[in-house]
């Protein structure tokens, strides 16, 4: 999404919005990381106060993908910290969206990757390895499926069933 904003995408595609092919997440996410604009195919993960699977995904090559984590909107601990974000940056992930909390904000803000999360929290997550990979998730009023596309900028986050030609 080089020079086209999410607002312009919405304005130019009312038919995709009406059909549900293009959806906007409710504006509940804070912006972290140096990359404020990012996009890519989505990989979904559902966990609750456990970050083992989050770390495992980010150890893989990202190839421009975006990890979208449904953390159950928990505000009791962070499921993403600085070390995995550095690893994600180095492994070529475009971004990470967390329906939950992060920590190590200063370190994350120094990384050239896009990160969105509900808030920051100093407590670390459990390490039990519980969760579900590549499953449909519901966050911020929107159902998101593995393989859909995410577009994020400072105006918000869009989900599209297919890659948009912008």
72 annotated as belonging to a binding site for a ligand: no
84 annotated as belonging to a binding site for a ligand: yes
81 annotated as belonging to a binding site for a ligand: yes
**Which helix or strand (DSSP H or E) is residue 8 part of?**
helix 6-12
Rounded Cα–Cα distance for residues 78 and 122 (Å): 7
71 annotated as belonging to a binding site for a ligand: no
129 annotated as belonging to a binding site for a ligand: no
Q: Which tokens belong to 159?
A: 């989900």
- Within 13 Å, how many C-alpha atoms sit on residue 96's CB side? 36
62 annotated as belonging to a binding site for a ligand: no
Rounded Cα–Cα distance for residues 54 and 38 (Å): 19
Binding residue positions: 81-84, 103-104
Q: Residues annotated as binding site for substrate? A: 81-84, 103
């Amino acid at each position: 999404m080089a020079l086209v904003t999410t607002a312009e995408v919405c304005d130019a595609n009312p038919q995709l919005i009406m059909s549900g092919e293009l959806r906007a997440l409710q504006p509940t996410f804070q912006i972290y990381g140096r990359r404020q604009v990012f996009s890519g195919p989505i990989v979904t993960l559902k966990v609750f106060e456990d970050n083992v699977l989050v770390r495992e995904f980010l150890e893989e090559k990202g190839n421009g993908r975006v990890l979208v984590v449904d953390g159950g909107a928990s505000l009791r601990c962070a499921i993403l910290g600085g070390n995995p974000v550095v690893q994600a940056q180095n492994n070529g992930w475009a971004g990470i969206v967390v329906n939950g909390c992060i920590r190590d904000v200063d370190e994350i803000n120094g990384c050239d990757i896009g990160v969105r999360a509900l808030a920051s929290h100093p407590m670390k997550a459990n390490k039990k390895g519980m969760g579900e990979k590549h499953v449909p998730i519901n966050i911020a009023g929107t159902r998101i499926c593995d393989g859909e596309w995410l577009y994020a900028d400072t105006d918000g986050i869009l989900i599209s069933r297919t890659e948009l030609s912008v």
